[in-house]
Amino acid sequence: MRLTVVSTVLNEADSLPRLLEGLAAQTRPPDEVVVCDGGSSDGTLSILQAEAHLPLRAISRPGLNISQGRNAAIEAATGDVIAVTDAGVRLSPQWLEQIAAPFADDATAAVAGFFRPDPTSVFETAMGATVLPELSDIDPTRFLPSSRSVAFRKHVWRAIGGYPEWLDYCEDLVFDLRLRQRYGPFAFAPEALVYFRPRASLRAFFVQYYRYARGDGKADLWRKRHATRYLAYLLGAPLIVLLGVFGSPWWWLLLVPAALGLFGKGWDRLRRMWGGLTTTHKLQAALWVPIIRIVGDVAKIAGYPVGLWWRWQRRAALPDWRAIAPDSGD
């Protein structure tokens, strides 16, 4: 098995060295690393071209989006198995070994690795607890890996048409769904771990989740989830407030189970993450959890209809990504 690691980068000069150091320290070294630069202006390409400890090829494709860049890197790869990760992550030393192991079975088409937060502040600790799943939250038969930690055979990538180049966000989810639709669940390798730093500010987090939700709208993903969110925030919460103000104050008690439903899982995860925090920092982190959750939900409420409008405007030209690709004999 020849194993190629691919990644796409754009202005990642600050975070790229950590990724390259992590790849060089793998217990199972990559046979090849292909990185597509989308037109960086901060020296990212120079860092890639100067790398001497890895079998690395850098390709420059200014102006490509993430899907286009990832497809270009995979097309250039010579490995029969492709492992994908992102700049800015910290790889566990066994990441590549663990994510490659299931391919010893010829029936394995794709492998899902896992990811954990790598916080550097109280806020980032609360962010990781609020938005990122723990291993115990995962159903391996339904888990869809992010582009931080996933691997697949190259012929599988080709058979389903690669990453959707018409999509700028949530492209990895559409790719995962098409792959699972045709080849069944991903093999799950929970020890194929990468660590990444959550967003460091509410503003950056809002932009991230706005873009995620806009991508959901563009790809027509998770209709029920978004509908539930609109009902909760635009109908349920205002109704409880009105009943509490103009009716019986007992209606306010409904906010207790609502709050536990919204924030309880984040608080529970935080309790298992805050071992190194002081009592004051634990309280600060606990107060951040509901703020982060609400800001993320508001960002999704704002972004989803923008994506839907984009999709409606292009409805005649967009491909039906849910259509299963014809079998090519692979």
pLDDT confidence band for 325 (50 / 70 / 90): low
The boundaries of the domain holding residue 309 are: 202-313
pLDDT digits (tens, 9 = 90+) for 1-21: 999 999 999 999 999 999 999
State the number of CA atoms in the 13 A half-sphere of 148 facing the CB.
20
Domain boundary among 196, 230, 263: 196
Amino acid 330: pLDDT: 43
Amino acid 328: pLDDT: 45
Same domain, 94 and 114: yes
Same domain, 64 and 105: yes
Same domain, 178 and 29: yes
Q: What is the CATH number of the domain that holds 24?
A: 3.90.550.10
- Name 294's Cβ contacts closer than 8 Å, sequence gap at least 6: 262
pLDDT confidence band for 251 (50 / 70 / 90): confident
Same domain, 121 and 257: no
pLDDT confidence band for 323 (50 / 70 / 90): confident
Give the CA radius of gyration of the chain.
21
Same domain, 255 and 296: yes
Whether residue 61 has pLDDT greater than 50: yes
Whether residue 329 has pLDDT greater than 90: no
Mean pLDDT of 99-126: 97
Enter the pTM of the model.
0.92
Mean of all residue pLDDT scores within the chain: 94
pLDDT digits (tens, 9 = 90+) for 120-178: 999 999 999 999 999 999 999 999 999 999 999 999 999 999 999 999 899 999 999 99
Whether residue 100 has pLDDT greater than 50: yes
Same domain, 176 and 37: yes
Pinpoint the alpha helices (H) of the chain. 16-24, 44-50, 66-76, 95-100, 122-131, 154-159, 171-183, 202-219, 223-231, 237-246, 255-273, 279-313
95 lies in some domain? yes
